[in-house]
Amino acid sequence: MLEIQPVELELTQIAKTYGRRRALRGVSLAVTGGEVVVVSGPNGSGKSTLLKIVAGLLRATGGAVTMRLGGRPLDPAERRRSVGYASPDLSLYTELTGRENLRFFAAVRGLPHSFDRGESLLDTVGLTGRGDEFVSAYSSGMRQRLRLAFALLHEPRVLLLDEPSATLDEEGVELVRRIVADHAASGGLALLATNDPREKAFGERSLVLGN
Amino acid sequence: MSWVTEAAAVFVKEWVSEWRTRVSLSSVGLFAACSLTLIALALRGGAAPGREAAAALLWIVIFFTAATGLGRSFVHEEERGTALALRLSARATAVWAGKYVANATVLTLLTAIASPMLVAMLGIRVVNVPLFFFVLLLGVLALAAVMTLTAALVAQATARSGLLAALSFPVLAPVLLAGVHGVEAAMGVGNLSGSIEPGLGDLQVLGSYVVVAVTASLMLFDFVWND
């Protein structure tokens, strides 16, 4: 039986500026495994920026991000590869099929049994029977489902989802709710950036960012 | 072993994507075909250029063809948003290595087709074929290494047009100098006996350059790709 490692995330006075524009100022947060935090705020308040900083995709101009897995702090490169991340500006290869995309990303992650994992994920996100179609032929909702599969591929302990239900139908919204709930139940932590009232109900904690 | 698997996965994905979209192959092939056609038309009925000019023409075709085609892979990743998924999944050095081998393969294939055609069109005899082959091979490997790294830099810029050639040219000057001189020696310029001696120094320069360029790229790419 695989041991589940406890995970913790601590943000201390995170600040980010783009040139002279201040995107984030003094954001602090501490989250532990099993918790879901909804990050909300008006457009331009820095929700997506905050998730990218946590993922290690952007460097904060001030403050510190500390992520611990099994008590060990992760450096930004480890953080980047360990989180499960999905956002509207993340795309998968349109010239590959959904299944080929998952196999490719599993291969570059060095995941064993990538074939089985990819198959079960296609089922999980509701793409059963559509895995052999090119992503270019997918609807926006199907692409969002594939993004969710991409985020879950390596069974991350930290899930960062930016507007996860955008472009999804009611069944898709329920899928996101189930994914987030299962993730928290297994001891993982999740940050959801959203202003959608349905998604706000997925988390028991909230962080509201201002302009 | 896992790093090699990651790099191999990137390489295979590059070729599958390339085969289905033909983004680099079409631009590289078209540029090379246009260049060769123009040279053929310019030489129609006239005297063929000397061997020195032929060596320079060959490297002009290879350099600008590489600048036209090799930059596309990273630009395409950034424009489509797939770079984000790649950054989250693969080690930077594995991405560079996979793309480098893919770019080097495209450029080697192109050079294998274009250089015999150019030599035949100009009616020049290659007096030392192994020297000609190794100078071109090492030159292409060096060109691909520098251009793969520079292409990742250029892909982050807003104004990309022409940047790859402009940034790569000064860095690649030693490669182009040794490449032109090595090809001249293989074509018999000051080397009528076809000896390898006059081109030996060029081979050493090119071989060393490949080692330095690959090592430096592996060390620097993380900063270019992730920061």
Across A73-86, average pLDDT: 91
> What mean pLDDT comes out for the span B98-110?
94
Instruction: Compute the distance between CA of residue B219 and CA of residue B222 in angstroms, rounded to an integer.
Output: 7
Q: In angstroms, rounded to a whole number, what is the distance separating the alpha carbons of residues B174 and B209?
A: 8
The model's pLDDT over A37-66, given as tens digits with 9 standing for 90+, comes to 999 999 989 999 999 999 999 999 999 999
Q: Is the pLDDT of residue A164 over 80?
A: yes
- B13, A96: Cβ pair inside 8 Å? yes
Please, is A189 exposed, middle or buried when counting C-beta atoms within 10 Å of its C-beta (0-12, 13-18, 19+)?
buried
Residue-wise pLDDT for B168-226, tens only, equals: 889 999 999 999 999 999 998 888 888 888 889 999 999 999 999 999 999 999 988 88
In this prediction, residue B75 carries a pLDDT of: 86
Q: Which residues of B touch A104 (CB under 8 A)?
A: 9, 13
A77 Cβ under 8 Å from any chain B Cβ: yes
Angstrom distance (rounded) from CA B82 to CA A48? 17
Find all residues with CB under 8 Å of A171, minimum gap 6, and list them: A126
A-chain CB neighbours of B87 within 8 Å are: 57, 80
Question: Closest Cα partner for A146 from A102, A200, A89?
Answer: A102
Q: Of A55, A89, A110, which is closest to B5 when you measure between CB atoms?
A: A110
pLDDT digit string, tens, across residues A16-27: 998 888 889 999
Residue whose structure tokens are 């999944």: B89
ipTM score for this prediction: 0.90
Nearest residue on chain A to B80, alpha-carbon basis: A91
Torsion of CA B185, B189, B190, B191, to 10 degrees: 50
Q: What is the DSSP string of A155-193?
A: --SEEEEESTTTT--HHHHHHHHHHHHHHHHTT-EEEEE
Q: How confident is the model at residue B45, as a pLDDT?
A: 67
Q: Please provide the DSSP assignment of chain B as one string.
A: -HHHHHHHHHHHHHHHHHHHH-HHHHHHHHHHHHHHHHHHHHTTTSPPPPHHHHHHHHHHHHHHHHHHHTTHHHHHHHHHTHHHHHHHHS-HHHHHHHHHHHHHHHHHHHHHHHHHHHHHHHTPPPS-HHHHHHHHHHHHHHHHHHHHHHHHHHHTSS--TTHHHHHHHHHHHHHHHHHHHHHHHHTTTT-TT--SHHHHHHHHHHHHHHHHHHHHHHHHHHHHHH-
Residues of chain A contacting B221 with CB distance shorter than 8 Å:
none
Task: Please give the model's pTM, rounded to 2 decimal places.
Answer: 0.89
* Rounded distance between C-alpha atoms, residue A135 and residue A92, angstroms: 8
Among B33, B43, B54, smallest CA distance to B188 is for B54
- Between chains, do A55 and B86 touch, taking CB under 8 Å as contact? no
Reply yes or no on whether the pLDDT at B154 is more than 60.
yes
Q: In what order do the strands lie in the sheet with A205-208?
A: A83-86, A158-162, A189-193, A36-40, A205-208
Residues comprising chain A, all counted: 211
Residues belonging to chain B:
227
Residue B78 token pair? 């950034």
Can you tell me which residue has the tokens 């424009």? B79
Res B194: pLDDT: 80
**A107, A135 in Cβ contact below 8 A?**
no
Residue B38 banded pLDDT, cuts 50, 70, 90: confident
In the predicted structure, residue A130 carries a pLDDT above the cut 60: yes
User: How far does the CA of residue B80 sit from the closest CA of chain A (Å)?
Assistant: 7
Residue A211 confidence (pLDDT): 60
Q: Locate B37 and state its tokens.
A: 């056609």
